[in-house]
């Protein structure tokens, strides 16, 4: 198939390789996942019998019905978590014991890799190849990393006078409410649950209603690994019901949330209206990729830019959705980005050759497509932007890689998080204007700078208001570094040793040693 990439990228590959697909389709048909709430060590239906349908983005079909937690169910989970915390079988266990259990959980995740990957792919629309090679192994690595880290973190001794000893120790907060999104369900669950459990907390996890299946499987594996009853609970349900109940519960000591700014602010209100619990938020971004005129490798830049926004169909919190490019290299770079987009294989997530899968829901699909009209109304040139129906797929939620060129950074397309495979391109002149335009955003999650001048790169990184800044790369990351943002992107950090601090509270124990003379002691 021939294609003029300078005019459109609607001719990307949409194919299906039945040599690989049939195995996964058969496995999906035979799959019998857990669908009930997991509370206090056992699976149970919602008390009022409520449920919701889990829809497969690959074809729009109902996978099954999942129990929907109500306020009473959330209360039961939180009470169980609080009771388990007070009992101390986990919260006061030796760190080495918690490490062994979490290491076993990591091993079980890898032993059940195919099932977890299939659940993740069916529920979220991730390509099965990515779920197997990235999502599950990454989540397992996070659990392993925190298991190996927890007994290597030391407490402190304060520099007191000679007649006193002051110990500064870290203690678990208590009950953690973790509310995770649908774009990377298992990975983001691991970011929050692993450090919370490693530090001795109890956890009540509310997965997104679109993607609950892998969380329920994780609960089963956690129990098998040896996590005591009540320490880890999973309550699928609607955000307005289960999420609110978790945010309002007086026995929850902290809520950690990844999702939209509107819901994040709701959790702040819940905290204020209840017990003043801690709230940590990661609320997305509109992350800029700055390419200056001296960037040495435009081919590498184009590849990183395309993958940075088209991977996972653009449903990535820190997806590089804004390209801010110097006018001197604009034409060549955009041409190269379009070419990379055109080369990507969009298709059924259960096809192992698929590189871009489905949008997570029909609601999100309509939202993404709606921005195509907005872009045109704001004067941008649209490359792509059409709904697709891959070969062999009757229905489903697919959008081709899309580029909006000539975007006004102050317009809706320049400012609003689309959360789809849509790149906005804004042209600038020089590094100063590029950084200024990059910072003209309500978000501040991530950014990148492409330049051959290390001084310019360093100065730009200093001035960019973003939690992560990449230089001559994009989306290079690991659990070893913190993740989070500035401004409307939220507060707090996932990943790294800093996450251990976020799930603990400092306690000072001041001991009066009295007279320092040994002669007074008999």
Told to judge if 400 belongs to the known catalytic residues of this protein, a careful annotator would answer no
The C-alpha R_g of the chain, in whole angstroms, comes to: 24
The β-bridge relationship of strands 164-172 and 504-512 is: antiparallel
Give the start-end residues of each E strand in 120-163: 156-157
Q: Which helix (H) or strand (E) holds 143?
A: helix 136-149
**Please, what are the domains in the chain?**
18-283+489-507 (3.40.605.10), 288-471 (3.40.309.10)
Phi, psi of 171 (to 5 degrees): -125, 150
Which structure tokens are listed for 403? 């580029």
- Out of 282, 378, 400, 417, pick the active-site residue: 282
Give the Cα separation of 434 and 432 in Å (integer).
5
pTM higher than 0.85 for the full model? yes
User: Would you give per-residue pLDDT tens digits along the chain (522 residues)?
Assistant: 233 333 334 444 443 344 445 699 999 999 999 999 999 999 999 999 999 999 999 999 999 999 999 999 999 999 999 999 999 999 999 999 999 999 999 999 999 999 999 999 999 999 999 999 999 999 999 999 999 999 999 999 999 999 999 999 999 999 999 999 999 999 999 999 999 999 999 999 999 999 999 999 999 999 999 999 999 999 999 999 999 999 999 999 999 999 999 999 999 999 999 999 999 999 999 999 999 999 999 999 999 999 999 999 999 999 999 999 999 999 999 999 999 999 999 999 999 999 999 999 999 999 999 999 999 999 999 999 999 998 878 789 999 999 999 999 999 999 999 999 999 999 999 999 999 999 999 999 999 999 999 999 999 999 999 999 999 999 999 999 999 999 999 999 999 999 999 999 999 999 999 986 666 555
């Amino acid at each position: 198939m021939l294609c003029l990439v300078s005019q459109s990228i609607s001719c990307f590959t949409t194919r299906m390789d039945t040599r690989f697909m049939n195995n996964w389709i058969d496995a999906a048909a035979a799959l019998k996942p857990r669908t009930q709430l997991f509370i206090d060590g056992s699976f149970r239906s919602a008390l009022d019998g409520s449920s919701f349908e889990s829809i497969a983005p690959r074809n729009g079909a109902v996978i099954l019905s999942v129990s929907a937690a109500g306020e009473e169910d959330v209360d039961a989970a939180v009470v169980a978590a609080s009771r388990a915390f007070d009992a101390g079988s986990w919260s006061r266990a030796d760190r080495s014991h918690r490490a062994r259990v979490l290491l076993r959980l990591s091993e079980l995740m890898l032993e059940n890799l195919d099932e977890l990957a299939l659940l993740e792919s069916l529920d979220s629309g991730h390509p099965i190849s990515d779920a197997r090679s990235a999502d599950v192994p990454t989540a397992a690595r996070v659990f392993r990393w925190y298991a190996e880290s927890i007994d290597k973190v030391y407490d402190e001794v304060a520099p007191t006078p000679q007649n006193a000893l002051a110990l500064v120790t870290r203690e678990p907060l208590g009950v953690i409410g973790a509310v995770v999104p649908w774009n990377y369900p298992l990975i983001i669950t691991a970011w929050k649950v692993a450090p919370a459990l490693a530090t001795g907390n109890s956890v009540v996890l509310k997965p997104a209603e679109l993607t609950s299946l892998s969380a329920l499987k994780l609960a089963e594996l956690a129990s098998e690994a040896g996590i005591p009853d009540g320490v880890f609970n999973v309550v699928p349900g609607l955000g307005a019901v289960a999420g609110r109940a978790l945010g309002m519960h007086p026995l929850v000591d902290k809520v950690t949330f990844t999702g939209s700014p509107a819901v994040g602010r709701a959790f702040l209100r819940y905290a204020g209206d209840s017990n003043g619990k801690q709230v940590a938020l990661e609320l997305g971004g509109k992350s800029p990729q700055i390419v200056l005129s001296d960037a040495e490798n435009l081919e590498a830049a184009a590849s990183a830019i395309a993958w940075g926004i088209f991977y996972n169909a653009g449903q990535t919190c820190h997806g590089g959705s804004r390209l801010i490019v110097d006018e001197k290299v604009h034409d060549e770079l955009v041409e190269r980005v379009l070419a990379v987009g055109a080369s990507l294989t969009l298709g059924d997530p259960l096809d192992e050759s698929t590189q871009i899968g489905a949008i997570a829901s029909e609601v999100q699909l309509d939202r993404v497509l709606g921005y195509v009209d907005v872009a045109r109304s704001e004067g941008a040139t649209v490359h792509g932007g059409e709904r697709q129906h891959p070969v062999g797929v009757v229905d489903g939620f697919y959008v081709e890689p899309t580029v909006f060129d000539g975007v006004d950074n102050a317009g809706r397309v320049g400012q609003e998080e689309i959360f789809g495979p849509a790149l906005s391109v804004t042209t600038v002149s020089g590094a100063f204007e590029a950084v200024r335009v990059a910072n003209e955003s309500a978000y501040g999650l991530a950014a990148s700078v492409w330049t051959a001048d290390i001084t310019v790169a360093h100065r730009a990184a200093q001035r960019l208001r973003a939690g992560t800044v990449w230089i001559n790369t994009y989306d290079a990351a690991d659990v070893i570094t913190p993740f989070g943002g500035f401004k409307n992107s939220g507060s707090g950090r996932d990943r790294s040793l800093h996450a251990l601090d976020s799930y603990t509270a400092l306690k000072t124990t001041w001991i009066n040693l009295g007279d320092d003379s040994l002669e007074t002691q008999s």
